[in-house]
Structure 1
């Protein structure tokens, strides 16, 4: 059992909470039983190391079974060591190290997608993780990050996806004009979500959402830049029926993605 929180191996894991270490190593940090279990079940080939306290492994039977099925050895650690490695204040007794595995946008579009989410300069880790989770739940074929969006492998992003990161392809590091070109080449309609657009209720009745759709979402504070909006076939807003001043980006994105999922399955 590993019991020295200052050991070089433990410090190396802890450093993965920082972007510089992730860029240098090509690795990232996984925390919590849900994310680790999903990684073992769906992407076991990217898993490098798995650490757990004995009590945690007893508590999370699904994780223990997934580790056995994946042929993954579990390294037991003390609570103090686990706390030293974790990015969270109250870790749940399980931490893993995995290889980064971004997909290319070309591969996403090659699969004749019906629904994807394109994120332009989404900066909040929680928003990004939640949108990936919503895209997964809505049956989307992929997510593409453009511009200066937050690092996909930021620990807060990974936690917020609750395992959906391992279910659908996510592409990173692309410029928006090239992504939109690829979307159109794949016969997808680009719809921008922005408060300046027509109501989603009106668009729902046109039948356009039943077609292959690439939703474009912008920055949490600024939305999409004015010069970006003309690049989309339509600009659509989620109507507010109550007294709320605005809607959280991840919530609005979830509504848009599900509207398309409903239309394509009706």
Structure 2
């Protein structure tokens, strides 16, 4: 096997990686995480990151791993049996390669602000998908409340597919206080509101606010935003999930910034 071989759960490197896989506290204290798979590792490298450790399952092709290792000259290479490797990954079918990597802090973007403000988004896949959508739509910042899932967990990273490497994050925020200090227009996406989201001008500095998957937005956040608006739906469903709502809203903002705001109704 390519790299230093580990065969025991008592190995200190395995214990360190296991903590990063399972513990929010360990990730926050170390400012480190685990990247699962070649795609995430490639996105990390393209964003300027340099992994600390590369880990290979025994069944992963040694030649492919050697090519990945060549792109990470400073990283320590580790190999371990598939059974041990499976304990470190967030999915039932492991990719066969992991990277231990430091959190990245993407630089602020020189663009009209388009901020995603997330209150208590707790599903890691949902959170990752929201960040991925925001990055694709040109978001300049994501503000996460204290009740949000850890954006750097392996499952959230898998959902984000590299978004955390390019989209600046403000985590653990007091969302009502942040909204009150924001120099722009803030729009909360909510059901049963009179304001039609598509009728709003989204070309100026904008914060799109979305709440918890079940409970929605808190009263304090609703009181702090400029307006609450609904996304019109033609079908017979109650609502969109949080990631779908953010996708609709963020890409409508992108569309308006390319083509101009909607014509006011007479």
Q: Is TM more than 0.5 here?
A: yes
Distance 1:248 1:78 in 2: 39
Could you tell me the TM-score, scaled by structure 2's length?
0.84
Partner Cα separation in structure 1 for residue 182 and residue 209 of structure 2: 11
Change (3 A) 1:69 1:29: closer
Q: Quote the offset at 1:112 in angstroms.
A: 5.2
Q: Specify the SS of the correspondent of 2:144.
A: strand
Residue 70 of structure 2: which of 61, 68, 71 is its match? 68
Counterpart pick for 1:249 among 228, 233, 242: 242
Q: Which runs of 5+ in 1 are unaligned?
A: none
How many Å apart are 1:138 and its aligned residue?
0.7
Instruction: Tell me the distance in 1 between the aligned counterparts of 2:124 and 2:102.
Output: 19
Deviations along 1:119-156, one digit per CA (max 9) or x if unpaired, are: 11111111111100000111111211023111122221
Distance 1:146 1:38 in 2: 26
1:141 aligns with 2:145: no
Give the distance between the partners of 1:189 and 1:82, measured in 2 at CA: 47
Match of 1:223 in 2: 216
Q: Which residue of 1 aligns with 2:93?
A: 90
Q: Given the alignment of the two structures, is residue 194 of structure 1 paired with residue 185 of structure 2, yes or no? A: no
Bigger fraction of residues in helix: 1
Q: Normalised by the size of structure 1, how large is the TM-score? A: 0.84
RMSD: 2.5
1:232 positional shift: 1.5
Change (3 A) 1:252 1:163: same
What is the aligned partner in structure 2 of residue 21 from structure 1?
26
Q: How does 1:34-53 map to 2 (within 5 A)?
A: 34-45=39-50, 47-53=51-57
State whether residues 198 and 231 of structure 2, in contact with CA within 8 Å, keep that contact through their aligned partners in structure 1.
no
